[in-house]
Each structure stands twice: as structure tokens, then as C-alpha cells.
Structure 1
């Protein structure tokens, strides 16, 4: 009988311990991400308090309809990521890879819409800081709104890119057979990150697009 132990047994003692360690590490990381976005949301709330009317008018220059489509894309993608976790727990590697691919595709659709929005704001002059050229709104409050808009959506877009890269890595691992019903910890913790990025958007969407 072989006495050779695998790396996870050597470091964690069991797969259960490895799973707990991975999940704890991910939750700590997610907590730091929550703190980052909480600071951004608090900053938004403070400036909205000082310029309520301007923020309402500035919000009307955003594409609420397309933002709703983006929201539907992300909510649906989270369902597919949850399905990926469920599938890999049952050892269905091909189905896991397939639904991860669909989720990535929805992420691409989300960022494509956001890129189009940025281009439209650029042509309209709805830009942050000294680049602000929108004549319909006061420079002070209007410029501040779009500074916060680009900051919130830009930071979120960066997180989306990271999350899509993570899903791509999980997709490759599923195709390569690295994950099974017995070992699927990366898929679970990767799914947690994707869900959190989606939750951030569920706060950003009403703050920016549904201002009243």
C-alpha cells in the first residue's frame, strides 16, 4: 500500500479542512471588497445630500433601459454560476463548463453595454472633472455626479473583468477534468466572488439610474 500523501492532505489533513480554509479565506477577502464599495457608497450619499436636485437631473442623462438589461444579465449569470456549482458537486464536468461559458458570455454582454455607455457620455461631454462639457447641468454638481458615476461603474467593471478571468480559469479546469464531485472547492469560492460582484451592481444600479 502506498504511503504517499497528496499536497492537500499534507497541508490541511483532509479535504474538509481544505474546504473550510478556502471558504474562510474567500470570506475575509470578500469582506475587504465590501469595505471598499461601502466607502464609495458613503461618499456618493454625502454628495447626493449636498446636490439632490442636480443628481436627479444628471441621472436622467443615463441609459436606464440598458442598465436594466445589464442588471438582468448579471442576475441571470449568477443563476448559471449557481448551476455550475450544483453541477460540479454531481460530477458533471461538461455541464459545469457549459454553464460557466454562458455566464462569461453574459459578463461580456454587460461590459459591452457599459463600454457603449461610456462612449455616449464621452460624445455628450458628460465626463468627470475638468473634462465635463455638459451644458444642461451646473458644472459643480453635474461634474461631481459623473465623477462618482465613472468611479463606481469603473471600479465595478474592473471587478467584472477579474471575475470573468476567474470563471475562465474555472472553465478551463472543468474541461481539463481538474474538478470532480469530490474536489470542487475552487468552483465554490469562485462562485462566491462572482455573486458578490453582482450584488455590488444591485446597489449601484438604483443609486445612479433610479435617482428621485
Structure 2
């Protein structure tokens, strides 16, 4: 009886209770859960946008008339910048795994700059739309534009912009960790988590750009 108990105890001690069985850490599980819930939130925004747009007699404006060709081209460039920052994030992780932390830091700077450029262009676009296209949005008075379009546009792009801002701050923290030697080859999973979030932000923006600017 004692021998059987000892064997059971040894078997239990061999079980990986660190949360990394099958290569899945608790951090990954938590982040994937968050991203799944966040994806449903974005899906709700996009579904609401589609419902309002394709309602009969919605008088939905043509995106080309609202943003203009130049505005859409600027946003297309902004989308390209965000995609490039997602690619640079892949390099951050790969260089960290290889142990080349100096190159990893350089790639992280590229990622952070890409996020800041995206936010800067989006801020410029918002300023232009609110002051010139939708001047009564904050000042009151007669409304000569589609309120549903303005509301859903600002909600979608603003919600996504908040995610980008959070991602930039997260990446700055990762960069400081790399610079101070607190993030190394041994705990590169921290960068992997940041990369998952950043790729999610990139993917969502591609959907938003397609729905709002192109269709």
C-alpha cells in the first residue's frame, strides 16, 4: 500500500504544473481569451456599421465623396505602415530568440515608430474631418451630414486607435526591458505575447479599412 502511494506521488510530481504543458503558457491562454473577446467587440462594431449602412433609405455617403481620393490614399499608406510595423515585430521576436538583443532593440524601435506614425496620421485625419467635413459635430447647429456614418466612423477608428496607443505603450515597455537586460533569450515569450496583440491590431485595422474606406 505504501509502495502504491509512493508511485502515485512520484507520478504527480512528474506532471508539469507550471502552465506550460503542450507549449501553451498561462500568459498565452489569457491573451488569446482577451483577443477573442476583443474580436467579438470589433465584430459588433462592424455588424452595427453594416446594419446602419445597408438600411433602406439610409442615405449613406460614398466613402470617396467623404474622404476624397487623397484621403483614402493617405489611409492606405497608413495601413501599409501598420503592416510594416507588424513585420518588424516578427523580427524583434526572431532576433531575441537568436540572442541578438541589439538587433531586437532596433527592430522594436521600428515597430514603435510605425505605431506612432499611424496614430499621427489618424489624428490628422480626425482633425480634418471634424473641423472641415463635420463642423457641427462638436459645435452644434444644423446638421448637413449623415450622423450615423460620422458616429460609426469615429467609434470604429477611435476604438482601434486606442488599441494602437496601448500597443505602442506596451512595446515601449518591452523595449526598455530589452535595453536593461530584463528581457533576454530565456524569457522571449514576453515578446511573443506583445507580438500576438500587435498582429491582432493590424488584422483588425485591415478589416476596418476595407469596410469603411473601400466598400
Q: How many residues align?
A: 196
Kept in 1: contact 2:108–2:171 (CA 8 A): yes
| Partner Cα distance (1:164, 1:122) in 2 | 25
SS of 1:72's equivalent? helix
SS of 1:177's equivalent? coil
Deviates more, 1:19-28 or 1:70-79: 19-28
Deviates more, 1:63-72 or 1:118-127: 118-127
Kept in 1: contact 2:63–2:212 (CA 8 A): no
TM-score, normalised on structure 1?
Answer: 0.83
Which of 170, 186, 205 aligns to 2:209? It is 205
Q: How does 1:90-109 map to 2 (within 5 A)?
A: 90-109=98-117
1:32 maps to what in 2?
37
TM-score, normalised on structure 2?
Answer: 0.82
> For residues 40 and 150 of structure 1, do their structure 2 counterparts lie closer, same or farther at Cα, with a shift above 3 Å needed?
same
| Partner Cα distance (2:142, 2:86) in 1 | 36
Q: Which runs of 5+ in 1 are unaligned?
A: 1-11
- What is the CA RMSD across the aligned residues, in angstroms? 2.4
Q: Which runs of 5+ in 2 are unaligned?
A: 1-15
Q: Deviations for 1:182-206, whole angstroms, at most 9, x for unmatched residues?
A: 2211100011000101111000101
Kept in 2: contact 1:73–1:110 (CA 8 A): yes
Kept in 2: contact 1:93–1:174 (CA 8 A): yes
SS of 2:182's equivalent? coil
1:48 maps to what in 2?
53
Find out whether 1:181 has 2:185 as its counterpart. Answer: yes
Q: Deviations for 1:4-35, whole angstroms, at most 9, x for unmatched residues?
A: xxxxxxxx855845962111111011111101
**Structure 1 residue 157: deviation in Å?**
0.6
| Partner Cα distance (2:136, 2:211) in 1 | 17
Q: How does 1:132-147 map to 2 (within 5 A)?
A: 139=145, 142-147=146-151
| Partner Cα distance (1:113, 1:129) in 2 | 20
SS of 2:84's equivalent? helix
> For residues 70 and 132 of structure 1, do their structure 2 counterparts lie closer, same or farther at Cα, with a shift above 3 Å needed?
farther
Find out whether 1:196 has 2:175 as its counterpart. Answer: no
